[in-house]
Amino acid sequence: MTPRIWKVLALALALLAAALFGALITTHRSVVGQMGPAAGPTTRTSAPDTFAPVIERVAPAVVSIYAEGAPSPPILVVPDLPFFQPEFIPPTRRMSSGSGFFISADGYVLTNHHVVEGAERVEVVLHNERRLKARLIGSDPATDLAVLKVSGGRFSYVDLQRAGAPKVGDWVIAIGNPFGLGATATAGIVSAYGRDLGSAFVDYVQIDAPINRGNSGGPSFDTQGRLVGVNTAILSPSGGNVGIGFAIPAETARSVSGRLIARRPIERGYMGAALQDISADAAGALGLPEARGALVASVTPGGPAAVAGLKPGDAILKVDGRDAENAEAVTRAVTRKRPGDTI
């Protein structure tokens, strides 16, 4: 072939390759375009442009709490060396700070039990820096919740009947009094539900909105301004925020605070049986496909479990039709019931 013919063939091949490449790109784009709507309606997953509107709406209901406890007893220090005189270390008053939020217009404030435990004097600082004395209405150490009451007007409050239920991965906003700084807002996402921190009465919400010392008792909200939970604990080797925080769910806060305000006892279900987790060996012996559920270790004579016919060695795999992962899950399910309920 002549050089001219080679040039013509090369140009033709180049044009053909470009056309094929363009067709491949067009086909790929077409497939991607068809796949999107097939997954269902899309929702906004990016960060909001601003959290300012929701923070402006809910922040006036959030307060800082300062509690002063009884003085510690004087300490007598006796040195080892005989020529030193014994020394008394004078008593000091215990001080703590935390957060809380109004749950009614007439001045009821929800916070953590551990924020006000043992306090003789409690002061609430409002969003506008106004300071009010508070009295303790009641507390429930089992769920770490307490209710205070202040007087002096009508207050912005959080409606516990409008609880939020964001999905894992949705945004959450925490407001509180970290390190005594006063009203501070942080944002993150809901990381998980149903976290077990060793409590038989609370399934915690895990959030990664930064919370620190002093945030205890403060609220966390969804982007609609609905309560998600009461910030209570952090997981941290250093005592500071590492991105893992835990909140008492809004439903638990609503139920417990309502009883505390009404001065009604906090009643919880009781089954009268000692439970333990089912080990792999126990699962094999019982013919279970996996190590899941609770093993009845003992039964209280005359108790609800005994009357229902449970015996040592029985395995509990479901409670009210729901899978029970371990003994703690069974206990929490029972304690959420009221005495007299059938489960």
Contact partners, residue 300, CB within 8 Å, separation at least 6: 272, 273, 306
Q: In the block, which residue shows the tokens 């992962």?
A: 325
Contact partners, residue 45, CB within 8 Å, separation at least 6: 169
Bridge partners of 247, per DSSP, are 205, 231
Told to judge if 144 belongs to the known catalytic residues of this protein, a careful annotator would answer yes
Q: Side chain identity at 121, as an amino acid letter? A: R
DSSP 224: T
β strands within 236-272, DSSP E:
245-249
Q: What is the largest CA-CA distance in the chain?
A: 116
From the candidates 64, 104, 114, 140, which is the catalytic residue?
A: 114
Q: In the block, which residue shows the tokens 């072939």?
A: 1
287-298 b/e (C-beta count within 10 Å ≥ 16 → b): eeeeebbbbbee
| Among 119, 122, 113, 112, residue whose Cα is nearest residue 93 | 119
From the candidates 97, 199, 216, 257, which is the catalytic residue?
A: 216
Contact partners, residue 254, CB within 8 Å, separation at least 6: 160, 161, 163
CA 120/CA 114 separation, integer angstroms: 14
From the candidates 97, 104, 144, 199, which is the catalytic residue?
A: 144
- Which two three-digit tokens encode residue 320? 């009210």
Cα→Cα distances 214→6, 258, 323, 336, Å: 80, 24, 37, 29
175-192 b/e (C-beta count within 10 Å ≥ 16 → b): bbbbeeebbbbbbbbbbe
Please identify every residue annotated as catalytic.
Answer: 114, 144, 216
